Amino acid sequence: MLHLAVFASGRGSNLRSIQRSIDEQRLEARIAMVLSNRRDALALEYARQAGIPAVTLAGVAADELSGFILDALAANKADFIALAGYMKLVPAAVIAAFRNRILNIHPALLPAFGGKGMYGHHVHEAVIASGAKVSGATVHIVDEEYDRGPIVIQRCVAVLDADTPDTLAARVLETEHTIYPEALQLFAANRIEVRDQRTYIRD
Ligand code: GRF
């Protein structure tokens, strides 16, 4: 059973899909807290309405961030972090304290179309401009290098001739909502082993 802290900056559709998976007993977890760098994030609003502790980083000084986040995680007894549209870098001290226990979801097939500036519609624009025939979603472990940690699950989505960044984003998002809870469940069931920048799924 994971005690999840979900970090989100935006609308929170992945947050909601995680909660749905828990409710439908596809994911052995509970959402212990939701954290956002933005006071007005819809994800926080959802958390408040659902009675989940909602934590905002707004107003926290830069040099106090990692301590503040670690205190919030401890206070809410969170033991695993899921980044779901979180637009800020996670402080190194938090990554070190939660080694191999932080996941992120990216709306393309990493290691392509990732890294600095590759977020939201920029990703899907770049995929379409590249002429690639497939895109997809990636769940990976977060380490110190942006969008580079060991991959847990990837699933392909076709790029159609008529796709715009919006239509492709919508199709990729549906896949995100499936694979993120699946990846989290692999950790909940203790089935993931990490070796040499790769993950291996135990039976
Ligand atoms: C998703 O596309 C995710 O892959 C990316 O940010 C978006 C977040 O969407 N990292 P939502 O807030 O979960 O709806």
The DSSP-derived string for 139-179 is EEE--SSTT-SPEEEEEEEEPPTT--HHHHHHHHHHHHHHH
CA of 84 from ligand 1 middle (Å) equals: 6
Q: What is the pLDDT of residues 137-182, one digit of tens each?
A: 999 999 988 889 999 999 999 999 999 999 999 999 999 999 999 9
The pick from 13, 88, 179 for probing ligand 1's pocket by mutation, whose C-beta has the most ligand atoms within 8 angstroms, reads 13
The yes-or-no verdict on residue 20 having pLDDT over 90 is: yes
> 118 near 165, Cβ under 8 Å?
no
Amino acid code (one letter) for 59: G
User: Residue 146 has what pLDDT?
Assistant: 83
**What is the DSSP code (8-state) at residue 124?**
H
**Atom of ligand 1 at shortest distance to CA of 105?**
4
Q: Where are the alpha helices (DSSP H) in the chain?
A: 13-23, 42-50, 65-75, 92-97, 121-130, 165-188
The mean of the pLDDT values for the chain is: 97
How far, in Å, are 48, 50, 58, 85, 188 from residue 54 at the CA level? 6, 10, 12, 16, 23
**Atom of ligand 1 at shortest distance to CA of 84?**
13
Active site residues: 106
Pocket of ligand 1 (CB under 6 A): 8, 10-14, 84-85, 105-107, 173, 176
**Atom of ligand 1 at shortest distance to CA of 14?**
13
CA of 96 from ligand 1 middle (Å) equals: 24
Distance, first Cα to last Cα, the chain: 18
Handedness of CA 104, 107, 108, 109 (dihedral sign): positive
Residues in contact with 37: Cβ distance below 8 Å, sequence separation at least 6, in sequence order: 9, 56, 57, 58, 86, 87, 88
Supply the residue whose CA is at minimum distance from atom 10 of ligand 1. Answer: 85
How many whole angstroms separate alpha carbon 187 and alpha carbon 193?
Answer: 9
- Give the distance, in angstroms, between the CA of residue 105 and the centroid of all CA atoms in the same chain: 4
Residues in contact with 173: Cβ distance below 8 Å, sequence separation at least 6, in sequence order: 13, 107
Q: What is the pLDDT of residues 107-134, one digit of tens each?
A: 999 999 999 889 999 999 999 999 999 9
The pick from 113, 135, 176, 180 for probing ligand 1's pocket by mutation, whose C-beta has the most ligand atoms within 8 angstroms, reads 176
Residues in contact with 134: Cβ distance below 8 Å, sequence separation at least 6, in sequence order: 109, 156, 157, 158, 159
Supply the residue whose CA is at minimum distance from atom 12 of ligand 1. Answer: 12
**Atom of ligand 1 at shortest distance to CA of 10?**
12
User: Residue 103 has what pLDDT?
Assistant: 98
Percent of the residues in the chain that have a pLDDT greater than 70, as a whole number: 100
> 113 near 127, Cβ under 8 Å?
yes
Task: Say what the pTM is.
Answer: 0.97
Supply the residue whose CA is at minimum distance from atom 5 of ligand 1. Answer: 85
